[in-house]
């Protein structure tokens, strides 16, 4: 056996050990694997490939809403309820990266810290990092890892502002959108893009003034969405909650369960791996990020990308032609 | 390939409720380009260590102003050892008698910052002494 074969074999052994440990629920291994995913370490692909057949069992809940509406507090209370039913839960809390420093303060954990000693709960904070298309991909992979680890539920919490955050939530079985009274125009703002993906709406901090008006506004907006009123389609309920006081949580969980039953009835399975639209969506994301990884990194590594930038500045070429020249040969399409 | 990013945790063990300092440190770390997990107030060493493992951080920065640092800080280091996570660097900040500082360092606290340490000094120390895992 040559040096090279031995090295490959050693690496494969290491990967299968990682896979074994993830499946057995080893917290440190899971935590490190998610870090490797976030950091874009190429070796994780092998582990993810092997973990794939162990995924598809968890029920994934997406929670999104503007900053300060109480998403983390809501998740905290949901954790308590799910744990009292002996369900294990993984939480992925995504916060934005500062575009200026590249750093991030990840504070969602503050509200959930009381669950940190509970072995049935795994909480992970991550930052959006601004890598293009990569956020959705890395969060999806992290969901897979927690799924393979054996968690019954996975809750993904994001600030629903950018397209990426909306896309992450799309990979959930049930998406919960959280708003608060008195947001006025902000409710208008969620129309664009987010309203369509909500399966359940929660008006949190419902003891505040204006809750009824928010309810009316939301109801109106949902009713205007004609697609919702096709026969047999899921009609998103709007629920009132006061997460800090643990009010309204059982109702939210009940609706999540109802939505799960609806999915079960309409698609025949809760396993995403068997559902065409989800598989198509997932594969599309993966092809996108694979292309970027494979092509873009190669172009930057070889210096071709920088040379093209220079050529554009010098007026020798336009960016349309330059991007054709860079991408087409790399993916094996003749440039004509 | 993307470069590994430094992940740190800022934690407040024990009973004091003064987290202004911890929050300022958290912001300085963010501005230095780190990912900062903040745990909030009133944490037990056990909770801090579990959170640090789940978050896979490279460093824990402990802040204590209530005088219990001689128990709390070494306990965090001890629990990390027990969990096989001794590679996570622990440092601390707060108001400590001089004689405590060397004893904290003996107990596995890699550096101790007192009032008057500038943010610049602290960030520089972290950059020089804490490396992202595998990096």
DSSP codes, A253-283 = HHHHHHHHHHHHHHHS-S-GGG-HHHHHHHH
Task: Indicate yes or no: CB of A109 within 8 angstroms of CB of B40.
Answer: yes
Chain A residue closest in CA terms to B26 = A105
Where is the domain boundary, A9, A31, A54? Answer: A54
Residues A218-235: tens digit of each pLDDT = 888 888 776 666 778 898
Question: Hey, is the C-beta of A104 within 8 angstroms of any chain B C-beta?
Answer: yes
- Using a CB-CB cut-off of 8 Å, the residues of chain A touching B39 are 109-110, 113
Q: Where in chain B are the domains?
A: 7-129
Instruction: Give the integer Cα–Cα distance in Å for B93 and B72.
Output: 12
Task: Pick the last residue of a domain from A13, A32, A54.
Answer: A54
Q: What is the pLDDT of residue B1?
A: 44
Which domain does A24 fall in, by range?
Answer: 1-54
Do A241 and A65 touch, CB atoms closer than 8 A? no
- Which residue does chain A place closest to B25, by CA atoms? A105
Q: What is the pTM of this model?
A: 0.90
A307-327 average pLDDT score: 95
Closest-CA distance of chain A to residue B99, Å? 33
The answer to whether A103 contacts B50, with C-beta atoms less than 8 Å apart, is: no
Residues A159-173: what's their mean pLDDT?
73
More confident of the two residues A174 and A292: A174
Are residues A276 and A261 part of one domain?
no
Nearest to B54 among A40, A97, A124 (CB): A124
Predicted confidence at residue A197, as pLDDT, reads 82
Whose tokens are 């290491």? That residue is: A14
Query: How close are the terminal C-alpha atoms of chain A, in Å?
Result: 47
Structurally, chain A folds into a number of domains equal to 3
Question: What is the chain B residue with the closest CA to A33?
Answer: B56
Inform me whether the pLDDT recorded for B88 exceeds 60. yes
**What number is the ipTM of this complex?**
0.92
Choose the closest CB to B35 out of A34, A103, A122: A103
A132 touches chain B (CB under 8 A): no
The dotted CATH code for B7-129 is 3.40.50.280
Search chain A and give the residue with CA nearest B55: A124
pLDDT digits (tens, 9 = 90+) for A276-312: 888 888 888 888 888 887 888 889 889 999 999 999 9
Cβ pairs A/B, distance under 8 A: 94
Count Cβ atoms below 10 Å from residue A309 Cβ, excluding itself.
12
> What mean pLDDT comes out for the span B46-71?
94
One domain for residues A120 and A219: yes
Same domain for A207 and A66: yes
Say which range, A99-108, A149-158, A173-182, A226-235, has the weakest mean pLDDT: A226-235
Distances (CA, A) of B105 to A57, B58, B108: 47, 18, 5
A250 and A225 fall within a common domain:
yes
Alpha-carbon distance of A158 to A177, in angstroms, equals 10
User: Same domain, yes or no, for A13 and A69?
Assistant: no
- Last residue in a domain, options A10, A38, A54: A54
């Amino acid at each position: 056996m040559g040096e090279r074969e031995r090295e490959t074999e050693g690496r494969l052994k290491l990967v299968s050990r990682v896979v074994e440990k993830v499946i057995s629920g080893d917290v440190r291994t899971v935590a490190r694997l998610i870090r490797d995913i976030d950091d874009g370490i190429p070796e994780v692909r092998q582990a993810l490939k092997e973990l794939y057949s162990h995924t598809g069992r968890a029920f994934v809940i997406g929670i999104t809403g503007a900053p300060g509406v109480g998403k983390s507090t809501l998740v905290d209370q949901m954790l308590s309820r799910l744990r009292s039913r002996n369900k294990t839960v993984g939480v992925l809390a995504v916060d934005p990266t500062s575009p200026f420093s590249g750093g991030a303060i990840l504070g969602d954990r503050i509200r959930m810290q009381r669950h940190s000693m509970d072995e049935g709960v795994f909480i992970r904070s991550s930052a959006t990092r601004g890598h293009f298309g990569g956020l959705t991909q890395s969060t999806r992979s992290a969901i897979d890892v927690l799924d393979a680890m054996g968690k019954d539920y996975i809750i993904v919490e994001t600030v629903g502002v950018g397209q990426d955050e909306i896309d992450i939530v799309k990979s959930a079985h049930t998406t919960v959108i959280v708003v608060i009274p008195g947001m006025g125009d902000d409710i208008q703002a969620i129309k664009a893009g987010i309203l369509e993906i909500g399966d359940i709406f929660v008006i949190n901090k419902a003891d505040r003034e204006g809750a009824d008006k928010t309810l009316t506004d939301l109801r109106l907006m949902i009713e205007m969405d004609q697609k919702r009123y096709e026969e047999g389609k899921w009609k998103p309920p709007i629920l009132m909650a006061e997460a800090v006081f643990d009010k309204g949580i059982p109702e939210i969980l009940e609706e999540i369960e109802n939505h799960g039953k609806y999915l079960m009835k309409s698609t025949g399975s809760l396993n995403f791996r068997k559902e065409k639209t989800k598989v198509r969506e997932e594969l599309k994301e993966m092809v996108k990020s694979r292309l970027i990884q494979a092509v873009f990194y190669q172009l930057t590594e070889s210096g071709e990308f920088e040379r093209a930038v220079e050529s554009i500045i010098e007026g020798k070429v336009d960016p349309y032609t330059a991007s054709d020249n860079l991408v087409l040969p790399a993916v094996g399409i003749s440039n004509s | 390939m993307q470069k590994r990013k430094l992940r740190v945790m800022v934690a407040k063990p024990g009973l004091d409720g003064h987290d202004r300092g911890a929050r300022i440190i958290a912001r300085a770390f963010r501005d230095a380009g780190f990912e900062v997990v903040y745990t909030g107030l009133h944490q037990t060493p056990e909770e801090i260590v579990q959170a640090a493992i789940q978050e896979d951080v490279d460093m824990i920065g402990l802040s204590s102003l209530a005088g219990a640092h001689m128990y709390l800080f070494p306990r965090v280091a001890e629990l990390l050892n027990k969990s096989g996570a001794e590679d996570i660097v622990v440092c601390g900040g707060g108001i400590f008698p001089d004689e405590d500082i060397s004893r904290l360092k003996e107990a596995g606290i890699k550096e101790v910052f007192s009032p008057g340490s500038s943010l610049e000094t602290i960030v520089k120390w972290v950059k020089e002494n804490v490396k992202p895992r595998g990096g």
